[in-house]
């Protein structure tokens, strides 16, 4: 399997982007991804960060005409693995 090696390649190969990193890198990641996103993309942010930073990241993605989806992980991932409960805001009814 060939994995995408750039933000452009990832956007070309995917409709759903799941950024997971430390909060201090979230704005950089959104800024690097945004030029390659279009209306077909969901940017489903799973990072733990302040509401102000989350809104800032959402604005970057919105300007790219992609759909920002905030995802909140509701329990420790090591305990639940891929079945960890998550909640989402805007766009949650469209991503499954």
- Nearest one of 5, 88, 19, 4 to 60, comparing CA atoms: 19
Domains and CATH numbers, the chain: 7-83 (3.40.50.720)
pLDDT digits (tens, 9 = 90+) for 49-94: 888 998 999 999 999 999 998 888 888 888 888 888 887 765 555 5
Q: Could you list the beta-strand ranges (E) of the chain.
A: 16-17, 42-45, 67-73, 86-88
Coil, helix or strand at residue 23: helix
CA 74 to CA 84: how far, in whole Å?
7
Mean pLDDT, rounded, for 26-31: 95
Cα–Cα distances in angstroms (integers) from residue 88 to residues 8, 26, 56, 74, in the given order? 26, 17, 17, 10
Backbone angles phi, psi at 72, to 5 degrees: -110, 120
| pTM for this model (two decimals) | 0.80
CB atoms within 10 A of CB 41: 22
């Amino acid at each position: 399997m060939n994995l995408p090696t750039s933000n452009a390649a990832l956007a070309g190969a995917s409709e759903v982007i799941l950024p997971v990193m430390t909060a201090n890198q979230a704005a950089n990641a959104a800024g690097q991804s945004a030029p390659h996103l279009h209306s077909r993309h969901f940017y489903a942010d799973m990072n733990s960060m302040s509401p102000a930073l989350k809104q800032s990241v959402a604005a970057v993605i919105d300007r790219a005409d992609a759909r920002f989806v905030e995802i909140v992980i509701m329990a420790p991932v090591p305990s639940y693995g891929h079945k960890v409960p998550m909640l989402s805001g805007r766009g949650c009814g469209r991503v499954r």
